[in-house]
Amino acid sequence: MSFNSLAFLVFLPVVFCLYWFVFGRNLKWQNLFVVAASYVFYGWWDWRFLLLIAFTSLCTFGSGLLIRKYREENLRRARWIRTANIVLNLGILALFKYYDFFAQSFADLFLGGRSDGLLLHLILPVGISFYTFQAVGYTVDVYRGQFEPVRDPVQFFAFLCFFPQLVAGPIERAADLLPQFGRRRSFDYATAVDGLRQMLWGFFKKVVVADSCAIYVNEVFANSADYTGMQLIVAGPSRCTGISPVIPTSPSAPPSSSASTCTGTSRSRCSAGASRSSGRGGISP
């Protein structure tokens, strides 16, 4: 679910009312509702993503308790548990985020680009980097004795899947966020109004300003060869020294005085650039 979507505009008021006025009297139920609402929010893109975040949460919660148990009795075992959980979390992240990239690079280098049966074509789960590094940070803090692991799984699951920062960050340290799920929270009108004011200002900056600018920014990135202002600025001082770097330019770029600068070793480059510019609109090595 995207923050600037109609679904979220319906989702948030419902969650707000239920959170404060139905489940607000019981901390356990309130945290459980946070988990449920966060899973609805996250699963809106693809319900299969929920299996992954639930697995990460369960493994990290259990490893925290085991690390605390063996930290004083058997430090070596605690170290192995810490390492195993970190490798598991980072391994999942690497699988979804980087496997196809490295597999394709391997195929290009050694298999002539033939990657049939090698790529997995996995869908990258939204926000996986945020909750993965948050889980890793929790594990490290528990191992170092900087934070005592929680024994309430609902509290921990709420910490790892809290929907306002799940898909856009920031990555929170356990000591900063997790204890807040262990304290009773009461409704404060001024705080709620301030939160809504911040949200409206954020909507203005995102929908009105950023999305409007994106129309032109996307056009530039989609046709980068036609927008070469910085390349020309870089090329200018270089040409003033009589050295001609290979700077890609567009057909609409102003002509350079190639005859005056094409001397010595740069002459072959200039002649090649002149021939290529008529065909592809750029200077190639």
Could you read off the pLDDT of 74-119 as tens digits, one per residue? 889 999 999 999 999 999 999 998 888 888 888 888 887 777 778 8
In angstroms, the CA 102 to CA 122 distance is 13
Residue 208 DSSP class: I
In the prediction, which pLDDT does 100 show?
Answer: 86
Mean pLDDT on 174-196: 91
Quickly list DSSP for 68-119: HHHTTT-HHHHHHHHHHHHHHHHHHHHHHHHHHHHHHHHHHHHSTT--TTT-
Domains of the chain: which residue ranges?
6-185, 225-277
Question: How many Å apart are CA 140 and CA 136, to the nearest integer?
Answer: 6
Whether residue 63 is predicted with pLDDT greater than 80 in this model: the reply is: yes
Residue type, 207: V
DSSP state, residue 13: H
Helices (H), 111-228: 128-143, 153-161, 174-177, 189-203, 211-222
| pLDDT above 90: residue 60 | yes
Pairwise CA distance, residues 189 & 211, whole Å: 31
214 versus 285: which is more confidently predicted? 214
Give pLDDT, residue 56. Answer: 95
- pLDDT (tens digit, 9 = 90+) per residue, 135-159? 999 999 999 999 999 999 999 999 9
Picking from 33-42, 119-128, 136-145, which range would have the lowest pLDDT averaged per residue?
119-128
In the chain, helix, strand, coil percent, each to 5? 70, 0, 30
> Taking residues 19-48, what's their average pLDDT?
92
pLDDT at 37 over 70: yes
Q: What residues have CB less than 8 Å from 263, skipping those under 6 apart?
A: 242
In the chain, the largest separation of any two C-alpha atoms, in whole Å, equals 83
Read off the pTM.
0.73
Confidence of residue 11 (pLDDT cuts 50, 70, 90): very high
Tell me the torsion sign for CA atoms 245, 248, 249, 251.
Answer: positive
> Taking a C-beta distance cutoff of 8 angstroms, is the pair 49, 43 a contact?
yes
- Separation of alpha carbons 195 and 74, rounded Å: 46
Side-chain-facing half-sphere of 56: CA atoms under 13 Å:
30
